[in-house]
Amino acid sequence: MKKRIRLKGRIKTYLQFSIYLGVLLLVINAGMLALDLRAGLLLGFFTLFYFVVTLALYFYNKPVIINELVSFATQYGQIQKRLLRDLELPYALLDDTGKVIWTNLAFEEVIKQPKGFNKSIMAVFPSITRDKLPDDKGVEETQYDLTYDGKEYIAKFKKISLKEMAENSDMIQAQGYDGYLIAVYLFDETALHIALQEVDDQSLTVGLLYLDNYEEALESVEEVRRSLLIALIDRKVNKYISALDGIVKKLEKDKYLVIMRKKSVTQLQETRFDLLEDVKTVNIGNEMAVTISIGMGLDGLTYAQNYEFARNAIDLALGRGGDQAVIKTPDSITYYGGKSQQVEKNTRVKARVKAHALKEIIAGKDKVIIMGHRLADVDSFGAAVGIYRIAQTLDRKAHIVLNDISNTLQPLVDLFKNNPEYDADMIVGSTQAIELAGNNAVLVVVDVNKPTITECPDLLKVCKSIVVLDHHRQGAETIENATLSYVEPYASSACEMVSEILQYTSDGIKIRIEEADCMYSGIMIDTNNFMSKTGVRTFEAAAFLRRNGADVTRVRKMFREDANEYKAKADAVSQAEIYRQSYAISICTSEDIQSPTVVGAQAANELLNIRGVKASFVMTEYQGKIFVSARSIDEVNVQIIMERLGGGGHMSIAGCQLEGVSMAEAIGNLKSTIDIMIEEGAI
């Protein structure tokens, strides 16, 4: 279509007004002819002359006026162009493909390119792709953050329609114009970001620093030198915090309050809290190295909230075994350290206090519901049986929640089913447990402190009174609002903890042989036949169970493997890959095996017998998920490795469950996690 420029609007009306007057004059002339012929003819000659002159002027002046308007518009455009050219805000015009067609001086200074730069905007800013620009599908404006040449910008892109510009013009009318341009504005946010970062760096953070083994460390040194040990620790802590421009105040003999800037916390993170290792160097003959736990709270809305975050963080650090730092923010929890095995405490004061508290809670309720973790193992069921005995001793009705019974657990469950000494509803499913739970029921959770992997998570919402007994290190996800929480990572098993509590529940308490066998089995399995995580109290608990009828031979017979399981375990061991000369990784088949996860865990234990292996990981595909069993002796903390993959556990015994990934992807994720953590110095 041929492009034409025509006048429109008020200027068109102004130029045609004389023609409209001529038409009016014709009407008047017709009236004059009717009244007076001579006057009408005279007026007619005047009208004809008027039309000739008017039309001549109209057709002569119209192009002149259009040229003048175009000239004015051109000069006006030049002024606008000059203003835009000298504008301090970086500005550019792009065509609909993103190619730069015009830039002002400020934009040229930013990109350090001369006038006439006609490359694509994507060549200047690689982070801007074609799909991020306005298009002809309705996207009119877009905005993105850019970092270029050490500066930070907000880039705004706005679509300019050429057709719409012509249609909105008051002076000209254009036909045949189509397409659009894209205007680019760059807003320099560098100074603002620096100011905001400085404010953030100067914000107050609160920390709590606890000595994990204060009493034990003092007992390992002669009395006259104890004050020197305390002074050296104080000096080490004060010197370290002062070097970071922080303030440290001793609250109690083994507790410190730390105040510092957020920027200093960043420095601590960069050094991965080397104070944890630095304190261990304090040695004046003490047999036991001093370890500390640190909890930091930051990014809270108030100072009080930061302090609350610090309290939660230190509780997590202590609950995970100590010798580590935990940073808590409103959005995340970060862990550092945790490389030392927690030292077992010889005193049973805490166990006695918790036992009395548990006794009072159960005595005040009508019913006791007991549950462990999903896919219950021997330790979980054995601890549940121990709590069942406590409830029976206190004349309270008790039920154990158990949905799926594995092949390994079946021999223990058979001890209680169809046994006249036990109620028929001793073991119930999740649905029945929810129906039995009421306002006057207490829920006792054993061998797990993560709500999502409990046997029946809905019970946590139904029961108002909750007790948690566990030996796994705590993670970010914990059971909230527990009436009583007893989490001791140094314990070998949940059965060990329950065995101790049993002894303080009632004087001269007697437990049945079946119950003793169950709890003894839990200790034996979790300690890999007393070879892992065993301490003085572990053997004392086992001795208590032996006195009550637990039989080693009987237990061993119950846990003999069938041929398929033994072959699967041997196959997993024989096909293991030694990654980075220290990490054994293998796959355990689940075909023709009722409890493949248990076999995988056993294979992981066997792999630790290979010389040079610091940690072992065995993966088992089961029920649409990939179960990872991780084991170590003392050199590697497998818990923090599993936490990176969404799991948890102990320093030497941990695991996780992976969903939505293939076996090859799971192995790849594990290897990349190990690589990253080695580079970070986390393991």
**pLDDT given at position 96:** 74
Instruction: Please give the sequence-ordered ranges of beta strands (E in DSSP) within 417-551, or none if there are none.
Output: 427-428, 441-446, 465-470, 484-487
CA dist 228 and 662 (Å) reads: 57
| Per-residue tokens: 540 | 């004392």
Centroid of chain to Cα 160: 41
Higher pLDDT, 101 or 461: 461
Integer-rounded Cα Rg, in Å, for the chain is 41
Convert the pLDDT of each residue in 430-441 to its tens digit.
888 888 887 788
Residue that wins the pLDDT comparison between 272 and 585: 585
pLDDT of 617 above 90? yes
Residue 289 CB burial class (10 angstroms; 0-12, 13-18, ≥19): middle
Mean pLDDT of 394-413: 85
Per the listing, tokens 């019970």 go with: 459
Query: Residue 149: which of 177, 188, 94, 114 has the closest Cα?
Result: 188
What CATH fold (topology level) applies to the domain 87-196?
Beta-Lactamase (3.30.450)
Comparing 87-196 with 205-337, is the CATH topology the same? no
**pLDDT for 209 beyond 90:** yes
Element (H, E) at 91: strand 91-94
Q: Where are the domains of the chain?
A: 5-85, 87-196, 205-337, 349-558, 563-680
**Alpha carbon distances (Å) from 32 to 36, 482, 585:** 6, 109, 115
**Greatest extent of the chain over all pairs of C-alpha atoms, in Å:** 147
Of 225, 207, 324, nearest to 272 (Cα)? 324
Q: Is the pLDDT of residue 616 over 90?
A: yes
Residue 3 pLDDT: 47
**Whether residue 15 has pLDDT greater than 70:** no
Report whether pLDDT(56) > 70.
yes
324-328 and 333-337 strand pairing: antiparallel
- Of the pLDDT bands very low, low, confident and very high (cuts 50, 70, 90), residue 172 is very low
What percentage of the chain reaches a pLDDT higher than 90?
Answer: 14
Q: Which of 341, 351, 647, 380 is nearest to 525 (CA)?
A: 380
Helix, coil or strand: residue 126: coil
- Provide the pLDDT for residue 76: 59
Tell me if residue 20 falls in helix, strand or coil. Answer: helix
- Position 161 scores a pLDDT of 73
349-558 CATH: 3.90.1640.10
Q: What is the pLDDT of residue 12?
A: 67
The whole-number average pLDDT for the span 169-175 is 49
Treating both helix axes as pointing N-terminal to C-terminal, what angle do 494-505 and 536-547 enclose, rounded to 10 degrees? 60
Rounded to 5 degrees, what are φ and ψ at 98? 95, 5
Model pTM above 0.75: no
CA end-to-end span of the chain, whole Å? 74
Q: Look at residue 69 in the predicted model and tell me its pLDDT.
A: 65
- Superfamily assignment of 205-337 in CATH? Reverse transcriptase/Diguanylate cyclase domain (3.30.70.270)
Specify which of 140-144, 303-307, 504-508, 631-635 reaches the highest per-range mean pLDDT. 303-307
Identify the three-state secondary structure at position 465.
strand
Considering only the top CATH level, what class is 563-680?
Answer: alpha beta
pLDDT at 408: 77
462-486: average pLDDT:
82
Edge-first strand listing for the sheet containing 583-588: 577-579, 583-588, 615-622, 625-632, 653-658, 648-649
Lowest mean pLDDT among 158-162, 219-223, 542-546, 582-586: 158-162
Report the 10 Å Cβ neighbour count for 285: 10
The predicted pLDDT at position 220 comes to 77
Q: Distance (Å, rounded) from C-alpha 256 to C-alpha 261? A: 17
Residues 57 and 66: their CA atoms lie apart, in Å, by: 14
Amino acid at 252: E
Beta strands in 452-569 (DSSP E): 465-470, 484-487
For tokens 């999903």, name the residue.
374
Q: What angle do CA 293, 501, 291 make, to 5 degrees?
A: 15
Task: Give the pLDDT mean for 355-374.
Answer: 88
Strands of the sheet with 141-148, listed across from one edge: 100-103, 91-94, 180-188, 151-161, 141-148
pLDDT of residue 622: 86
Q: What local confidence, expressed as pLDDT, does residue 345 receive?
A: 53
Position 255 confidence tier, pLDDT thresholds 50, 70, 90: very high
Nearest Cα to Cα of residue 172 among 4, 326, 28:
4
- Specify the higher pLDDT residue, 661 or 163: 661
- Report, as an integer, the average pLDDT of 478-489: 82
Across 79-83, 151-155, 335-339, which has the greatest mean pLDDT?
A: 151-155
Phi-psi domain of 205 (left: phi exceeds 0; alpha: psi -120 through 50; beta: other)? beta
76-85, 192-201, 389-398: which has the highest mean pLDDT? 389-398
- In angstroms, the CA 520 to CA 547 distance is 11
pLDDT above 70 (res 301): yes
pLDDT of residue 19 exceeding 80: no
In order, the DSSP letters of 448-503 are ---GGGBS-THHHHH-SEEEEEE-SPP-S---TT-SEEEE-TTSS-HHHHHHHHHH
- Take residue 523 and report the two structure tokens written for it: 């200790």
Q: How far apart are CA 636 and CA 641, in angstroms?
A: 9
Mean pLDDT of the chain: 82
